[in-house]
Structure 1
Amino acid sequence: MATVHQWSGLEARALRKALRKSIRGFAEHLGVAVNTVAKWEKLLSETTPQADSQAILDTVLARAEPAVQERFERLLDSDGLTHRPRRPPVPSLGDHETWAEDLERAMVCLSRQDFTFARTLLDRWLHRVLPGELDERGQYLYGRTLTLFGDMRRLQGTVCDLITAARLYADARSLFIGLRIPRRAAQIELSLAVVEEMSGRLESAASRYEALAEDDRLSRLDRVRARLWIGTALSKQGRADSAIVLMRAAAREFYDLTEPVDWAVAQQKLALAHRGAGDLIHALRYIETARSTGRPNSPLEHVQLDTAHAHILLSDPATADEGRTTLAGAAATAGQHGLGHQLRSIEAIREAQECA
């Protein structure tokens, strides 16, 4: 299928003809005004649809039947467009504003694990612009786009996703270093350390966290998060006692900073560390605190909390059945929302339970 990097009235007309629709029917199909389509057809190559319309046209073409796509390619070829290279234009000031708004929308989508719409918003810009031709504002937005795309792949969390996330983060970090924005570069280094931990490279992750916990480029909150994550890596290595000391200190700082969400996450991680130390009484106490105060708002937060709770319940034969039920619910939610890393964690817990 032909790829349209930048729609003009010519490509829009070709798509209308390929769909065999009138101007009015095409406008209704797209959900835009008839006058808008009429303008495209009048000005042809001299007009460029708005960013939202560009995305709608992309979607309609992608969802069209193969026969429609073939007709579209033939129409482009007859107009001499198929073989004419089209350079993505340098975004204007108005484009920058639209781009920034799309990034805000993508962040909301990621917080809800709506990966499909987030990808649509981010792809729109990654495929539209060439970073080497952007001004400083455009390069900053491109770096943020790469970062959010990395966040999406990290949240999805398959092995392939984590490899891709690391590459995207590295590219974004290089951009922010070039733009002399050290805080953004350091935040990405923190994300790279998370990818290391998720990939099972625990010693390397702990080392990165330790360095970033003292890095003045980061805010105090980010440095405390790094200290909490040192404890996470240590706990996964079986060094529960050292992990608990670090996690308690981080939890106190989150309390002082009035960060209830981070404080609740610390309670959850402390619960797992106590479970690793064989102290199920404290593990249950901490996980109940996390469950009563955490109030998860996203599928990921629900899965993480339920998985931690189930892991602790499975450690006691008296509560093992409840643990299996809770874990099954977490797996269903993770599968529904494409949370690959969480599914791998759940499977590892099940395998360990079977071997016990």
Structure 2
Amino acid sequence: MATVHHWTGLEAKALRLALRLSVRAFAQQLGLAVATVSKWESKLADTEPRPDTQAILDTALGRAGAAVHLRFETLLSEMTSPVQYTGRRRVTASGPRVWEYESWADDLDRVVVALSRQNFAFADSLLTRWLTRFKAPELDDKGLYLLARSTTLLGDLKRYQGTFVGLMTARHAYTSARTVFTQLDVPRRVAQLDLSLAVVAEMSGKLESAARTYETLAVDDRLSPRDRARARLWVGTALSKDGQHDYATRVMNAATRDFEDLAEPDDWSVAHQKLALAHRGAGDLAAAFRFLDIACTAGSAESPMQRVQLTTAQAHILRTDPATRDEGLRLLDDAAQIAAKAGLGHQLRSIEAIRRTCEGAFKPLQQRAGSNE
């Protein structure tokens, strides 16, 4: 078992990392101020805890399990090694170590979960921690891979938030990450970023360009079967937004069959939601309601984005029929409230656009009603 004869900030930091605790959580566990632990982290071997604190650290290490002791010894060995060499570049003590790569990868897993729940503030804090910590010249290939993954997830974050500035930031982040993955020769990631850039183009109103890219990626072997099916579905969404509803439904039907073959129920449900909107655009309300019913029955709406998308689709179709128009407008208000609370800017703008079309369609009815009085 590991023992420490004399604690400095360096050993204290290694213990914190071995315990996999944040600075705040580590301070709470020791019963110390966060500022004290932060001082250790900044000064490392140049600062020494007080004698009573040394005893507290002894106790924390003594109570730790064997796995923590192994990590602690490994971390100390890495942190005290002045220079490491990789096959491509020299990495000094200011660069990342193995334990930091592990923490970085763990945080990226947390970011993926946070984004799926639209917990944007938490995701942003985790990404900022790593994107501001290292520069590309400090990193070996594994570090560059993590940097590119972080940059990609930053693009996802900004894309999901959907503000005009956010879309530009997303495009820049995706382009930067694509350059790194190209340098690392990771073709699957490059193709995924091409897909993400096409989504940003579609969200920015470049429907024809987005549809062409989607069509190319729908048969790109660099992508997984699921990603190729998504690309095919998004061809349909871009075409439908461009008013080409008949062609869009044919493409979407093919994507729906792909999702069924791949046993992807959530994607299958989303495809029916998109088909419902395409049929609504083509004027076939019976088919729109049929596909919408399938989407509502089969799909999950656990995250705010899923709830907004499904509720907006329902509202968009219901408000088309005079008999259900009021219910559609009520659902549109519900979707707007969810989108505003979750910070989903793109969805909120789409809802406002639908509202404006509703108002435009309603005014002539009011005018005709007034002329008959």
Q: TM-score, normalised by structure 2?
A: 0.75
How do 1:68-83 and structure 2 match up within 5 A? Answer: none
Inter-partner Cα distance in structure 2 for 1:311 and 1:132: 50
**Is residue 2:105 matched to residue 1:107?**
no
Q: Which residue of 1 aligns with 2:267?
A: 262
Conserved? CA contact 1:88–1:130, under 8 Å? no
Distance 1:124 1:318, change over 3 A: same
Q: Which residue of 2 aligns with 1:45?
A: 43
Q: Which residue of 2 aligns with 1:291?
A: 296
Q: Which letter maps to 2:332?
A: L
Q: Which residue of 182, 186, 195 maps to 1:177?
A: 182
Distance 1:318 1:219, change over 3 A: same
1:34 deviates by 3.8
Q: Which letter maps to 1:345?
A: S
**Is residue 2:347 matched to residue 1:342?**
yes
Inter-partner Cα distance in structure 1 for 2:354 and 2:257: 29
Offset from partner CA, 1:140-195 (integer Å, 9 cap, x none): 00000000010000000011111100000000000000000000010011000000
Secondary structure at the aligned position of 1:91 is classed as coil
Inter-partner Cα distance in structure 2 for 1:42 and 1:124: 18
Conserved? CA contact 1:267–1:290, under 8 Å? yes
Conserved? CA contact 1:270–1:286, under 8 Å? yes
Distance 1:336 1:41, change over 3 A: closer
Q: Which letter maps to 2:165?
A: C
**Is residue 2:232 matched to residue 1:240?**
no
Distance 1:327 1:28, change over 3 A: closer
How do 1:7-46 and structure 2 match up within 5 A? Answer: 31-34=28-31, 45-46=43-44
1:253 deviates by 1.0
Inter-partner Cα distance in structure 1 for 2:305 and 2:97: 36
Secondary structure at the aligned position of 1:173 is classed as helix
Conserved? CA contact 2:9–2:46, under 8 Å? yes
Q: Which has the larger radius of gyration?
A: 2
Q: Which residue of 2 aligns with 1:274?
A: 279
Q: Which letter maps to 2:158?
A: R
Offset from partner CA, 1:228-254 (integer Å, 9 cap, x none): 100100000000000000001110111
Inter-partner Cα distance in structure 1 for 2:46 and 2:214: 47
Inter-partner Cα distance in structure 2 for 1:175 and 1:168: 11
Q: Which letter maps to 2:43?
A: S
Inter-partner Cα distance in structure 1 for 2:41 and 2:231: 55
Q: Which residue of 1 aligns with 2:356?
A: 351
Conserved? CA contact 1:88–1:129, under 8 Å? no
Conserved? CA contact 2:305–2:344, under 8 Å? yes
Q: Which residue of 1 aligns with 2:211?
A: 206
Offset from partner CA, 1:61-86 (integer Å, 9 cap, x none): xxxxxxxxxxxxxxxxxxxxxxxxxx
1:295 deviates by 1.5
User: Considering only aligned residues, what root-mean-square deviation do their CA atoms show, in Å?
Assistant: 2.5
Give the length in aligned residue pairs: 297
Q: Which residue of 195, 198, 202 maps to 2:200?
A: 195
Secondary structure at the aligned position of 1:191 is classed as helix
Q: Which residue of 148, 152, 158 maps to 2:157?
A: 152
Secondary structure at the aligned position of 1:140 is classed as helix
Conserved? CA contact 1:265–1:290, under 8 Å? yes
Inter-partner Cα distance in structure 2 for 1:218 and 1:166: 20
- Listed as ranges, the gaps of 5+ residues in structure 1 are 1-7, 11-25, 50-86
Offset from partner CA, 1:294-342 (integer Å, 9 cap, x none): 0212000000000011000010111010001100000000000000000
Q: Which letter maps to 1:201?
A: K
How do 1:130-149 and structure 2 match up within 5 A? Answer: 130-149=135-154
Offset from partner CA, 1:114-161 (integer Å, 9 cap, x none): 000000000000011101220000000000000001000000001111
Inter-partner Cα distance in structure 2 for 1:198 and 1:47: 51
Conserved? CA contact 1:88–1:128, under 8 Å? no
Inter-partner Cα distance in structure 2 for 1:340 and 1:44: 39
1:47 deviates by 4.8
Q: Which residue of 1 aligns with 2:130?
A: 125
Q: Which residue of 1 aligns with 2:58?
A: none
Q: Which residue of 2 aligns with 1:89?
A: 94
Secondary structure at the aligned position of 1:31 is classed as helix
**Is residue 2:330 matched to residue 1:332?**
no
Secondary structure at the aligned position of 1:200 is classed as coil
Inter-partner Cα distance in structure 2 for 1:88 and 1:154: 35
Conserved? CA contact 1:231–1:246, under 8 Å? yes
Distance 1:41 1:200, change over 3 A: closer
Q: Which residue of 1 aligns with 2:171?
A: 166
Inter-partner Cα distance in structure 2 for 1:348 and 1:48: 60
Conserved? CA contact 1:122–1:149, under 8 Å? yes
